[in-house]
């Protein structure tokens, strides 16, 4: 793969964020890339600089990207910096709002997400089994499981809990951010807590509910999606009450960890 202008723009920008002088930057480029290195007139701190302000999280993110792949492009770096900024800002804002999880308002947060539940379903007695699946929406809180609903039923959280104040936390799926959805939540006086993109590691259902419950389904075969769904629901309901409290404590710990990692993603704590 040949190096192009965008590759060198990213490296030059990174080097100037490391406080290297123009001569030091040029010397490093020559030592690594030899005759492929750009001319000294092109080694300018303004070359390749993003339009947004730079902070230490951005510098660390760029460093990590270039260490992992020296051919990373400026556009890839710009997209990564944007994601880092969104994740860090969201974590800090949410930690501040809920006093790092110590606020009583945490009990008003209902985290929602969707997942597929699979089973084997024979087409007929003579044919081999095929995959069948059903998508469900699961709603959980610090106090425990609230509901697991097949999406085909078109039921809402408000209908299940008409008296409860809700701060609904869900990801940025198009169905969640649609104008019709937002308008409905406003009419029902349901406050929406947003979520940073590409961040399942910051979603209670993704890092706790689904892995914990689906582990109970491993090795089993079901005759219908409905049967698989019932077993999944029971697995969620069987989770001890104190586990939900730990889950939400871990949620806020993950936010702080995300900030400490300068927006980096992770799967396990």
* Rounded Cα gap, residues 10 and 17, in angstroms: 11
Q: Is the pLDDT of residue 122 over 60?
A: no
Which residue, among 251, 249, 218, has the nearest Cα to 235 in the 3D structure? 218
Query: What pLDDT is stored for residue 160 in this prediction?
Result: 53
Q: What number of other Cβ atoms are within 10 A of residue 240's Cβ?
A: 9
Average pLDDT over residues 175-179: 76
* Rounded Cα gap, residues 261 and 61, in angstroms: 9
What is the architecture of the domain spanning 99-260? 2-Layer Sandwich (3.30)
- Residues of CATH 3.30.420.10 domain(s) within the chain? 99-260
Average pLDDT over residues 8-13: 72
Strand-pairing partners, residue 114, are 137
Strand-pairing partners, residue 168, are 110, 192
Better-predicted residue by pLDDT, 96 or 165: 96
> Measured on CA atoms in the order 96, 97, 98, 99, is the torsion positive or negative?
positive
Task: Determine what percent of the chain is predicted with pLDDT higher than 70.
Answer: 70
Cα end-to-end distance, the chain, whole Å: 36
pTM of the entire predicted model? 0.69
* Rounded Cα gap, residues 2 and 70, in angstroms: 11
- Tens of pLDDT, residue by residue over 32-82, are 777 667 665 555 654 444 333 445 556 666 666 667 766 666 667 667 778
Q: Is the pLDDT of residue 129 over 60?
A: no
Average pLDDT over residues 180-195: 85
**Chain-centroid distance, C-alpha 24:** 38
Q: Is the pLDDT of residue 140 over 80?
A: yes
């Amino acid at each position: 793969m040949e190096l192009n202008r965008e590759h060198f723009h990213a490296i030059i920008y990174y080097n100037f964020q490391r406080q290297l002088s123009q001569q030091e930057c040029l010397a490093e480029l020559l030592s690594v890339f030899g005759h492929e290195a750009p001319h000294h007139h092109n080694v300018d701190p303004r070359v390749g600089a993003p339009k947004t302000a730079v902070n230490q999280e951005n510098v660390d993110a760029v460093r990590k990207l270039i260490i992992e792949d020296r051919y990373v492009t400026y556009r890839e770096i710009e997209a990564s910096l944007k994601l880092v900024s969104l994740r860090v800002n969201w974590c800090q804002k949410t930690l501040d709002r809920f006093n790092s999880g110590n606020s009583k308002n945490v009990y008003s947060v209902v985290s929602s997400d969707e997942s597929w539940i699979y089973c084997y379903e024979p087409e007929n007695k003579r044919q081999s089994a095929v995959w069948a699946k059903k998508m469900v929406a699961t709603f959980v809180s610090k106090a425990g499981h609230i509901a697991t609903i097949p999406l085909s039923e078109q039921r809402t959280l408000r209908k299940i809990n008409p008296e409860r104040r809700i701060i609904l936390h869900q990801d940025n799926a198009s169905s969640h951010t649609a104008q019709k959805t937002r308008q409905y939540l406003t009419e029902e006086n349901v406050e929406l807590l947003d979520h940073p993109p590409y961040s399942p590691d910051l979603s209670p259902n993704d890092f706790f509910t689904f892995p914990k419950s689906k582990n109970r389904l491993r090795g089993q075969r079901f005759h219908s999606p409905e049967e698989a769904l019932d077993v999944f629901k029971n697995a969620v309901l069987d989770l001890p009450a104190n586990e939900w409290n730990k889950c939400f404590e871990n949620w806020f710990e993950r936010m702080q960890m995300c900030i400490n990692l300068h927006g980096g993603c992770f799967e396990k704590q």
